[in-house]
Amino acid sequence: MGYQAVMARKQDIVKRAVGIDYEEFSSGVLGFDYEGMMRQAAYSTEEMVKIQRETGVGNTPLLEMRNLTALARKLAPRGKGARIFIKDEAANPSGSFKARRASISIYHAQKNGYRGVIAATSGNYGAAVASQAAIRGLNCIIVQEVFDSRGVGQPEILEKGRACEAYGAEVVQLTVGPELFYYFLVLLEETGYFNASLYTPFGIAGVETLGWELAGQVRELAGRGPDAVVVTHAGGGNVTGTARGLEKAGCKETKVIGASVDLKGLHMASDHDFNRKSFTTGHTGFGLPFATWPDRADVPRNAARPLRYLDRYVTVTQGEVFYMTEALAVLEGLERGPAGNTSLAAAFALAQEMDNDQILVVQETEYTGAGKHPNAQLTFARNNGIEITRGDPADNIPGQRIVIPKHPGQIKLKDVDLTRARRSYLKNAAALVPDGRVSQADCEFLAEDCGGSMDWVKRELAAIGITTGGTKDG
């Protein structure tokens, strides 16, 4: 049961705990049949809607933010200021869109005779898994990365652990570091429980109903699909599932825009940096690494592949999200947690770029609680030596200073260079090539997976010393 021995068995442990033979979908050195995996392992939209309705998941309201839209129009050039809508996912049983993600996994586990489920997560997904497991009568263990080496836990993570326990789950809380995945594998092997990973086809497919549902609600309201949907981006499942649902609903022209909190300079696995952030999800510490190499997950092939679907990727600061959290409560009477307000902050600025007859949807909200509230987060930051000030959020420094805007006109976006992200993805892929050569099939997979053209991918691979086989013209 030593660390090295357990890690050497991880492929077999995960295979038994998920019930998917990932090798069946592999081709070439790098490629795999992504759509084939999704079709074989997941469920149809109609089946997922039925499964989710059994446990009260989905069918959440779409709310128009009339007061925030009016404020955005006051700041926007003449004729600009898109209508802002929010998909109120806090109405799900566990208070976030993650209930969709958990519902299909838990159903699948029950259908296949597993006695219980395990998930490694410090976020809303743990509460969602615990809630769905309770409804379906399965045991549940949630493994959380909670503390730094001082034994200090981030208030939002502690709040989510409390929620998991409230739903009857056993919660295993660990310090930041590599032991999380080790303990996760040990528990999977010892219990024989189902791996309710965030990154299986079941989890990603469960989010598809969110995109599919909001497309129908906007069509009923306006007679057409949304012009853009803003998605809080962390590990990529939210972007991937929502975008796939929009595609299945026929919204091929809808722009999918990812939004993250800018935590540049903070390392998520660093003991020193762990508690110097005020956001535990929806930030660049997850958003960029998972975009540039999705298969860093707890399953061999991650079903969340964000570069396939992102049309644009923007960041906002911590202070801007805190500002919009208060604005949502004061102007719209909705007190919601930080994850959805990340994409709301981005949407407030994006709306000012768009025409006033266009429709912009923020595709999630989440519940709020004691540990998620801005007061708790800002107090925790101050106690960890972070300066809290009012002013221009351009002066924000992650891990050192949180600047809350003085005026809504100070909320601005920073674009993440998706071409640069695609290059990083290809460099990560190239590191796995043993002889400096990939097949035509590998090249086709890489083009699909990073959202680039075949010609561009071949040129970029050639620039880093990788040649491609075959003669098919890209």
Enter the tokens of residue 372. Answer: 């998620």
pTM comes to 0.95
pLDDT of residue 11: 85
Shortest CA distance to 82 belongs to which of 94, 91, 90, 73? 73
| Pairwise CA distance, residues 360 & 226, whole Å | 6
> Which residues neighbour 266 within 8 Å (Cβ) at sequence distance 6 or greater?
273, 276, 277, 285, 398, 399
* Contact assessment for residue 135 and residue 93, using Cβ atoms and an 8 Å cutoff: yes
Beta bridge partners of 415: 314
DSSP class of residue 139? E
End-to-end C-alpha distance for the chain, whole angstroms: 48
Query: What distance in Å separates the CA atoms of residue 142 and residue 152, rounded to the nearest whole number?
Result: 19
What integer pLDDT is reported at residue 472 of this predicted model? Answer: 39
Q: Are 89 and 96 in contact (CB under 8 A)?
A: yes
Report the interhelical angle of 374-383 vs 318-332 (nearest 10°).
Answer: 150
Distance CA 298, CA 293 (A): 13
pLDDT of residue 470: 52
Which two three-digit tokens encode residue 146?
Answer: 């909670």
Specify the long-range contacts of residues 5-10, CB closer than 8 Å, at least 24 apart: 6/182, 6/185, 6/186, 6/189, 7/181, 7/182, 7/185, 9/185, 9/189, 10/181, 10/185
HSE value, Cβ hemisphere, 13 Å, CA-based, for 281 = 29
Helix (H, G, I), strand (E, B) or coil at 64: strand
- Spatial CA neighbour of 124 closest among 148, 102, 151, 147: 102
Q: What is the mean pLDDT of each run of 10 residues along the chain (474 residues)?
A: 85 90 88 92 91 97 98 98 98 97 97 96 94 98 93 92 96 88 92 95 96 98 97 97 97 97 90 90 94 92 97 98 98 95 98 98 94 92 96 96 98 98 96 89 94 95 86 37
Q: How far apart are CA 346 and CA 155, in angstroms?
A: 24
Task: Identify the helix (H) or strand (E) that includes residue 437.
Answer: strand 437-438
Reduce the DSSP state of residue 467 to 3 states and report it: strand
Strand, coil or helix: 309: coil
DSSP 241-254: HHHHHHHHTT-TT-
Evaluate whether 295 touches 288 at the Cβ level (below 8 Å).
Answer: no
Distance of CA 222 to the CA centre of its chain: 28
Categorise residue 232: left if φ over 0, alpha if ψ from -120 to 50, beta otherwise. beta
Write down how long the chain is: 474
**Amino acid identity of 249?**
A
